[in-house]
Amino acid sequence: MDKHLITGGAPLEGDVRISGAKNSVLPILAGCLLTDESVVIKNVPHLNDVTTMMKLLGQMGANLTVSEGLTIEVEARGLNQPYAPYELVRTMRASILVLGPLVAKYGHATVSLPGGCAIGPRPVDFHVEGLRKMGAEITVEGGYIQAVAKNGLKGANINFDIVSVTGTENLMMAAVLAKGKTIIENAAREPEVQDLGNFLNMLGANIQGHGTSTIVIEGVKSLKGGTYTVLPDRVETGTYLVAAAMTGGRIVAKATRANILTSVLEKLEEAGAHIATGEDWVSLDMRGNRPKAVDIYTSPFPGFPTDMQAQFMALNTVAIGKGILTETVFENRFMHAHELRRMGANIQLNGNTAIIEGVPHLTAAPVMATDLRASASLVLAGLVAKGTTTVDRIYHIDRGYECIEEKLAQLGATIKRVAA
């Protein structure tokens, strides 16, 4: 099991290229199941979760070709096994996203209940109940969801009690080939949901309102092929910007978009960063200063993203003043706080709230990643800690960050990957 060794103390400086969004490419790959024609996806990040989704599609019978330049071609014409086994699904919650496309296109599917990060329950009830409203017969037994729609899916009115990103994406894909109109109320508005809608429309779907709380889908008989470029990863962008802010550095994040992380940039400015933006770049300059503590309250887009909470907790540990973080999206998402304390952080936990009193510096210690974004926060903490920090179980970080040690090293960090 690989580890990261990080010697802190150097301010990050330079340019970093941002990869394609993991949370976009996974549903887009699942959406390729909806057409028999060839689909080419560009700006695909090289991540473990992407590899898992590719294995899943390939096991079902889809043909996949990986080209240089972060491009994948998918052809699902020969798909003959609408079945997602536990062995693959257990490692990645996003595997549930094949359920909607399979039922819509083939009339039946058997999909294992998903696994993934241990950050609290993310129920599949929204997916199941939505498909039932669209006419599917569904049973859940033996750890598997079995869905059948003998006469195809039909349009329905669906209202989420709680905003669900994967629920919105799954039902949006299912509705694309359903008969009639589907209206999804209280839909997720995340940029990745918008990206999926743009991708499906490029294939010939009729989707309106993606990016708002009401999405309207008019079902079509079939989809075509095409070429699509995945949007930049806003969480990766934010993570490198926070790393620069913590180290008092100055970086330019390239191949990204400022308009998909407005709330993060606002908090970085509040922390004392000087931010500038262009069409495809964001720069941050701390001018050698220590950041100021900020309060964070996570909420669905356009609010502050839960996937950036851990990184800002790390920032607050070395900031001037006291910051209060309130996590409203996922329970059990403060596991990184205990590891940060091992490095000298002053963190008090009270339910879904963390109170962080900044200290002048952290001290290196062996720490262990517990989930994807928690692992990022520990790497960031290592960048500002005195001594050499060892971060164990970094397979978590490989699920969501492409070549993180190479990118940080290019910015001046002392970091290397070693085999355990």
Q: 111: which strand partners?
A: 84, 145
Pairing of strands 181-185, 137-141: unpaired
Crossing angle between the packed helical segments 22-31 and 48-60, to the nearest 10 degrees? 10
Per-residue confidence (pLDDT) for residue 1, from 0 to 100: 80
**Omega prior to 302 cis, within 30 of 0:** yes
Q: Across the chain, which distance is largest between two alpha carbons, in Å?
A: 65
- Among 418, 344, 420, smallest CA distance to 4 is for 418
- Among 106, 150, 98, smallest CA distance to 124 is for 98
Per-residue confidence (pLDDT) for residue 88, from 0 to 100: 81
- Among 364, 315, 361, 325, smallest CA distance to 343 is for 364
279 Cβ partners below 8 Å, 6+ apart?
none
At 255-284, the pLDDT tens digits run 999 999 999 999 999 999 999 999 999 999
* Residue 64 to residue 130: CA distance in whole angstroms: 30
Positive/negative CA dihedral, 401, 44, 251, 418? positive
* Residue 131 to residue 277: CA distance in whole angstroms: 42
Active-site residue, from 21, 44, 79, 117:
117
Per-residue DSSP letter, 151: T
Per-residue confidence (pLDDT) for residue 331, from 0 to 100: 67
The question of whether 117 is a catalytic residue gets the answer: yes
The CA-CA-CA angle for residues 233, 385, 253, to 5°, reads 25
**Omega prior to 291 cis, within 30 of 0:** no
Cβ atoms of 128 and 145 within 8 Å: the answer is yes
Taking 70 as the pLDDT cut, the residues of the chain under it are 115-123, 331-332
* 320 three-class SS: strand
Crossing angle between the packed helical segments 99-106 and 22-31, to the nearest 10 degrees? 20
* Residue 114 to residue 97: CA distance in whole angstroms: 10
* Residue 235 to residue 117: CA distance in whole angstroms: 16
Residue 77: count other Cβ atoms within 10 Å of its Cβ.
11
Q: Which one-letter amino acid corresponds to residue 134?
A: M
Residue 13: count other Cβ atoms within 10 Å of its Cβ.
16
Q: 13: which strand partners?
A: 250
Token pair 């990060």 is found at: 117
Crossing angle between the packed helical segments 234-246 and 309-317, to the nearest 10 degrees? 0
Strand ranges, E, within 255-384: 274-277, 281-285, 296-297, 322-326, 346-350, 353-357, 362-363, 366-368
* 323 three-class SS: strand
Positive/negative CA dihedral, 345, 346, 350, 354? negative
